[in-house]
Amino acid sequence: MKQTANAIEHPSKIQTMTMVALMTAVTCVLAPFSIPIGPVPISFTNLAIYLSLYLLGWKMGTASCLLYILIGMVGMPVFSGFSGGIGKLLGPTGGYIIGFIPMAIIGGILIEKFKNRWFQFGALVIGTAACYLLGTAWFCVVMDSTVGAALGLCVIPFIPADIVKIIMALVLGPVLKRRLKQAGIDVCNHNAV
């Protein structure tokens, strides 16, 4: 019993690497499925990243996000619409993909800091807003668009779906984390959930 408690308190490097790889794989599987509604499709990428923040903590959740982006950069079809390659990052939606990094960092740090669900909701909203900001700025540069037009195309239509994904993560994240903890797996070892 003491060995199990010790494993929970101090996750092994192998356990941590396995969970990061698993959440990267989950992101790679969910992200290509998207609902095309314009130049920026609704994807499930941010839901997978939100969940990885709960399960891995902000550092390893961000590492998982970076791995996902690197896998897509080398050409694997893991971005929305089963696309990949450096061209996708340089295209109009590339800023939103890169924006997942500050979303993971900001959202993850705040999730770990606050136990209250309303604060965690706000944390994910703030992280998502950072993603919107970076993505919209990039879209404006690449497409020579005004901010108003970019917001109308790339942000406003996505707010309802992103709120639903945040709520899903708020519900599923703590449940999955508890189940993993009961199984002796606790990679991030924080008390926010």
Give the bridge partners for 34, in sequence order. Answer: 43
pLDDT tens column, 143-181: 999 999 999 999 999 999 999 999 999 999 999 999 988
Task: Quote the Cα angle for 28-33-80, to 5°.
Answer: 70
Please check whether residue 64 is in contact with residue 70, taking contact to mean a CB–CB distance below 8 angstroms: no
Q: What is the percentage of the chain residues whose pLDDT exceeds 90?
A: 76
Q: Tell me the C-alpha distance between 156 and 137, whole Å.
A: 15
Position 33 scores a pLDDT of 87
What is the set of domains in the chain, with CATH numbers?
2-182 (1.10.1760.20)
The bridge status of strand 34-35 relative to strand 42-43 is antiparallel
Structure tokens at 154: 């790339």
Q: What is the pTM of this model?
A: 0.87
